Chain A
């Protein structure tokens, strides 16, 4: 049976903890450590903030971007027709 994780181990598990990917036992030990360790609480909080900040950055980028879908479709179709020009595809 594993003892209480060290601070180093907490930082190694933090990402899986946030993604709910620890076993129930690991999760319980992780939380027990957090209860007692202000630095690890801080570390895990910061990791969560880092992740949500990345999401925020992505959302801002996507709001700015405005792809011209029709233009991209046309480009793809042109190139798709190019190398293997099969005649009569559209016959029927």
Chain B
């Protein structure tokens, strides 16, 4: 998708000079990712809008960009902040910190007091993603559990497992510590796994 994107050193001066070709290159390279991140935090309805808003913020702030991270990470952090601001406005009840603090991951613990499996995982009749995704019903379960994730967990999961960013960049983008970033990812993965597990236990 973003083949031959020039280096930040080359791109930034061209963007500052309002070079149309450079605009097209960064939009082509990063817009999709920005929409994915925005959608993870604010939901699908206003994700495109948030991504656009973030572009404006990016281009306006670019003269002051200090290059302490890559352009990509910096752009995504602006998306993340734009989205978080929107989320706070849209629903005052949503507390972003709740997304980190929630403990209600796996309801009845599958372990006994000694920490051994009391109700062991079911056998999944699937060995590959393709096997799993052949069931429309299971696919719907996965989509539903993705939508039900707390926003910050969904953002971490989207960036790591769906968009392939490294953990260090993700933590910069979401403005969380390395350990909190790992907790977000771990919980999100567990919830999706639990949804698939539930499907196979039925």
Contact = CB atoms under 8 A, between A and B. Distances in A.
Instruction: Tell me if chain B binds chain A.
Output: yes
Interface of A: 6-9, 11-12, 15-16, 19, 21, 39-40, 42-43, 46-47, 49-58, 62, 65, 67, 69-70, 72-73, 75-77, 79-80
A70 B161 CA distance: 29
Nearest to A9: B115
B121 A46 contact: yes
Interface in B125-146: 126-130, 132-133, 139, 142
Interface of B: 1, 20, 23-24, 27-28, 31-32, 35-36, 52, 55-56, 59-60, 109, 111, 114-117, 120-121, 123-124, 126-130, 132-133, 139, 142, 157-158, 161-164, 167, 182, 185-186, 189-190, 192-193, 196-197
Nearest to B185: A15
Contact of B162 (A6, A43, A58, A76): A58
17 contacts: A7-B115, A7-B116, A8-B111, A9-B115, A21-B182, A40-B117, A43-B121, A49-B128, A50-B193, A51-B161, A53-B132, A54-B162, A56-B129, A57-B133, A58-B36, A62-B1, A72-B55
A19 B167 contact: yes
Q: Is the interface of B mostly helix, strand, loop or mixed?
A: helix
Q: Is the interface of A mostly helix, strand, loop or mixed?
A: helix
Given A49-B132, A76-B55, A55 B24 contact: no
Contacts of B59: 76, 80
Contact of A15 (B127, B129, B158, B182): B182
A15 B121 contact: no
A19 B119 CA distance: 26
B149 to A, nearest CB: 11
Contacts of B197: 46
A72 B27 contact: yes
